[in-house]
Chain A
Amino acid sequence: MKILLPLSFSILIFFLAVNYSVIFASSHLDNTSVINPSKQNKLLVSFENNVSPSYEVMLDPNERFILSQSYSWIRDETSRYNLVSYSIDGSDPIPISRLARGGFTLDISTDSSHSVVFVAVSQFPIAVEGADVFFFTPESPTRDNWFDADSSISVIVPKLIEVEQNKIRRIVTDWSIDKAELKKVLDDDSEFLSISAIEMSNVHTVDIITKTQFKLDVLSEYGTPVGEGWHDAGSEVTIRMIPPDEGLIRRVVDGWEGSGVKADGNSAQLTIRGPTTVQVKWTTDNTPLVLVIGIPVAGGVALIIWRMKTVSASVKKPLIEKKPDDRLASMQYATEITDYVKLKTLENLGLMRDSNLITESRYLQIKKKL
């Protein structure tokens, strides 16, 4: 018993000592993993085909690391590189949404070392001068005017561009690529000019040549106008009226109203310098009716005819025909509503500023965009 007690006590002490040593060791290990700088991890960033220099970054396991890479960067004076995909630690390439501007960001775990390899392609730009409306087919992968090297594209331009509805338009007449010889646009039924098979192995410029046309409207209560419609800017135009066939009552052109109009009976000349509206004035010639009714009643009727002749066409106009006025009023109303939308839109933006939802500088910045 004397021997057993010290033995059991020493066994207990031994177990305690062993257990504590394990506890100390593990806590020592835990501390080491947090503070030992030799455990810091690395990130190696490289680019396929060395399109940009590789670099290394130390990763701190206690902090988040976000890798940022521009979507595009300069290759030379006329081209750029654009990100396509990346692979991490030798994985299969992961596609990147193709974007022209801004930066691609990747949240990198900092608990171990990693390597990221980016893949980028060369791109060349194409500029289209002289047309506000155009599109490319196929569309640019970066949704701008830059295309991957060696791709073949087409530029599509509407042959007719309406500048102001029913007033001003532009017609595409010629085009050229890289300032080479001008080519005429074919006068066919196609709505679009298609400039195809442009090889994007270099920078290109497409020049679109247009001419401006203005709409000439003839407002007339009677007859059929000849010569109204679209005319080239600066052109000399002759318009004329074919009077209506109304039996015994003859309508006669009494005059033409409009800026720069030279009247000559049933016809008129003018130079087209902008959207133009010409109004035709009419009078009534009742001579045939007088002849038919005869001389017996001439005395009484003559007075009425004389009075009718003197009645000005402008007095009759609203009673007889409303169409031209309706059309003008309708167009004017549409314009008024467009202006109204703009006004209310700006009013709302102003309210946002007044209620401190946006700052004054932000208000001015957004106003410019509206």
Chain B
Amino acid sequence: MSLLNEKDLLDRITHVRDLKENCFKYLEESSQELLTHKIIFAIAELTNEKMGPVKLAEIAQKVSGSGDKSKQDLIRLTIEKSILRCGLVEKLRYAPNDVRYILTAYRFQKVRQIDSFRGESSEPLGKVFEIPKSSWPIPDEFYILESKKHGYNEALKKINSDFDKDLIPRGRYEDLVREYTESLNQIRNKITSQFKGIEELVGT
């Protein structure tokens, strides 16, 4: 059972979140050994597997190989004190004893906060950081549609080339082209309507 709908998950991928320098450091390679870094990436991987927010016990199991109380407490404190405050992770309470966590976004922009008499503003620093695409919560259906789109595209190329070589009669050629073009258009429409913006980001 997914606790967030597909659109909510996909919105988290398309949205780029600004992070202050002191928060952005948790994502950087230099922080690889830090617990905060491990928690962020564990939440991403688990969300990808479950296609929804994840429980503290699951994060503890993934990060430390053990889901015991002391490990869970340590991870909860780390989340509460750092990455939750930074806005990297969102805490969702489904029931009094069912709290789950999910990343607020999968792409982050480091920004420098500027305070002036005109008010607060920020300027971007460096490139957008992406959580690895293999951890993005994209439904299987997207990859199925993308693979089929490639399959139909290649088949149409082959049909055209075979017709040029006189390997198939005109009647069969026209039937096949019509059939496969129709299927390809259906797939394209489905990708555009259901996975708007994802195709460009994934770059399949």
Contacts and interface: CB of A to CB of B under 8 A. Distances in A.
A349 B134 contact: no
Interface in A345-369: 345-349, 352, 356-359, 362, 365-366, 369
A70 interface: yes
A297 interface: no
Contacts of A342: 151
B147 A345 contact: yes
Nearest to B92: A66
Given A334-B176, A352-B204, A64 B93 contact: yes
Interface residues of A, number: 39
Contact of A66 (B93, B143, B176): B93
Classify chain B: how many residues form its interface, as a range. 35 or more
Contact of A352 (B2, B147, B172): B147
B93 A63 contact: yes
B119 interface: no
A356 B94 contact: no
A348 B95 contact: no
Contact of B132 (A67, A341, A356): A356
A351 to B, nearest CB: 9
A333 to B, nearest CB: 6
B133 A357 contact: yes
B134 A359 contact: yes
A242 interface: no
Interface string B145-160: 0111011111100110
B202 interface: yes
B24 to A, nearest CB: 23
Given A57-B96, A66-B92, A341 B152 contact: yes
Interface of B: 1-5, 48, 91-96, 132-134, 140, 143-144, 146-148, 150-155, 158-159, 162, 167-169, 172, 176, 180, 202, 204
Interface of A: 57-58, 60, 63-68, 70, 101-103, 105, 326, 330, 333-334, 337, 340-349, 352, 356-359, 362, 365-366, 369-370
